[in-house]
Structure 1
């Protein structure tokens, strides 16, 4: 008798609509944010491809995991009759001690919600915007946008998008800021791909309470963000 193949635990492939969210050409202003790369470079911590690889690994394991977990949880929260956006906002604020990073996150979130609501008009996007007069944090906006674009498997897809953005954004900034070889930089991203998948898989496990989401920290990113905000000459906003 033919055997029945075991069910796969891998996430479903990204639908084409969600590829738009991963496209750097999406008009959300992401190109003016370096994810902490510019201040790290100014401090002399990132000057080479090897140093960039270490920076990206650290960012993925800390800020990347937090962003991916909150994006996945936000996507799942959109299915609730009354989403707990205030609680999610407070928990993400608590995990972002740097005022500069909070401002950057909210600025990117506002832009993403505005774009997503134009492309995929959905009540969840309007509800999140209404609940966030100061601007929704970017991971929450990303999760809500993923749900609006393709509700099926949205938490898993949102986690993957956030984990990927945690490294691709700074990598792109490094090419422009440090004139690194783009082929070598993309080689680093290729090497990091399994780690991105692993972080996304960890982030897909959405707990019942937003307080139970990951709370890993990256103090160096916080310090650099505050120093960067005081710089008069800078290429990126963050």
Structure 2
């Protein structure tokens, strides 16, 4: 990963923070993008203290102007990126009729439109990088995009859209030398996705995570590091990671 420049969205916590930390440890310069500036600054400081290179770039993936401003800052401080990890996401597990309209709109905005905003704005820099070096676009989707579960209609639909976008984008940018990977985690611990579940559902999720046991964010990060370190002519286009006992 030496001499690579990575941008990770949703880097303030969970899988995003773990990916950023691992890539920096492997030698990449990392740009951390999320809304919570205080968390980004603390993570960037920890990475720098451990000998890595990291910058905090506060932005909201739903706001195109915010992402464009972040892109300008990354360009100025780190140059062209050659690795983009679209990880920002929200989860709601609520019966379809019970999910307020503003909440499902926000979920779709972050999970789908946010990925589109970031990818569109950073695609030119990825194409420039791909002309001379290994270049990756990694989208963190979910196995929920292909499994049908009560209460996850909107979340699952958003992840199905992300999975489709990954596969279609791979066809469009393969000729430019950009590798596209759709990463589909299963039950994962150490994230904030389930923090807003109702108490009874949270208890059930915690029990499932313990009994499986759930994979951890750093294990997902380890897989990402493996995927993007393959020889330039190799593309792991779809990768599923889940607990061994999860079916």
- What interval of TM-score do these two structures reach, taking the shorter chain for normalisation? under 0.3
Of the two structures, which has the highest relative contact order with CA contacts closer than 8 Å and spacing of 6 or more? 1
Q: TM-score, structure 1 length as denominator? A: 0.26
Q: TM-score, structure 2 length as denominator? A: 0.26
Q: Which one has a larger percent helix, Structure 1 or Structure 2? A: 1
Q: Which one has a larger percent strand, Structure 1 or Structure 2? A: 2
